[in-house]
Amino acid sequence: MSGQFRRVGDLEDDIKYRFSIGGVKIRHPSLRIRQLFNIGWQEVRTIVSLASDSTFLTGTAVAALPTTAAISGEVYSEVDFPLDAVSVYGVRVQRTASSRWYPLKRIPWAAYHDFQHQGLWLSYARQTMPIGYCVREIQKGVETTETAGKVMIVPIPQGGNYRLWYMQAWTPQVEDDDTISGHESWFEFAIYATMIRMLGPDADSKKQYPMWAAERAGARMLIEQRANRLEDGMALEPRDARDDGFDPEGWGGEL
């Protein structure tokens, strides 16, 4: 097995050894330890993604942008918040199949009416593409029926394509031979997060929380530093975003 992967059974053994679980197995059954580790691993994925590391992000297939208002008379259209998404990290749109992609601005819900432009030049220029997006609703579940959420797109596009980038929901790994791939600091964070959660039933009888919390904090620091360092010194091409959403020809060209 590659060193990048660790078996769930081995991770549990590591946790039991460090916790000195000994004769308290009734309070800390194997399945419970693995469930708690999976919670810690979900935290790792969120920390990594929020630090601008795209390791855990998934993109939807290229799809056509909706060209009608979600509600008659409104200024936005909507696309699905995928059923398997935890959170949306970006939306990219394309004017035509042969044109460039550009990112939509993430905007607060309160600002979605701010993109109704007025002015002499704007009265002549065609606004054919959207500028911003915000999440309106996450998924809903009623018994066995699950319904996708909604992401607002503003203003209403007149054509083009989009891809939505999101963090996919984690499927718990609880079998001995289930394998998880990650860096050493990711595993360390999840292990210490698991042991800290295990302190509850024992009322932290050995007063381990301060030490383990410090170790967890150190692992988180390394996770964030790694993610930030990967972006250091990377060249970014300057881009004029002032025309995002508008006809590049100014007076009416192709969509």
Q: How far is CA 244 from the centre of its chain?
A: 24
189: containing domain: 5-53+171-231
Q: Is residue 94 included in any domain, yes or no?
A: yes
Whether residue 203 sits in one domain with residue 177:
yes
Q: Is residue 175 included in any domain, yes or no?
A: yes
Q: Is residue 112 included in any domain, yes or no?
A: yes
> Nearest 5°: phi and psi at 228?
-70, -40
Q: What is the pLDDT of residues 117-150, one digit of tens each?
A: 555 555 555 667 899 999 999 999 898 889 999 9
Whether residue 86 sits in one domain with residue 117:
yes
Structure confidence at residue 2 as a pLDDT band (50, 70, 90): low
Residue 241 amino acid letter: A
Judged by DSSP in three states, 78 sits in: strand
Tokens of 133: 């997006």
Q: Is residue 242 included in any domain, yes or no?
A: no
Q: How far is CA 129 from the centre of its chain?
A: 24
Whether residue 106 sits in one domain with residue 44:
no
The count of domains in the chain is: 2
**Kind and range of the H or E element at 231?**
helix 209-231
Which residues make beta-bridge pairs with 179? 7
Domain end, chosen from 128, 159, 190, is at: 159
d(C-alpha 215, C-alpha 220), whole Å:
9
In this prediction, residue 171 carries a pLDDT of 93
Structure confidence at residue 98 as a pLDDT band (50, 70, 90): confident
Looking at every residue in the chain, the average pLDDT score rounds to 86
Indicate the Cα dihedral angle 69, 70, 72, 75, nearest 10°: -50
Whether residue 224 sits in one domain with residue 203:
yes
d(C-alpha 76, C-alpha 21), whole Å:
56
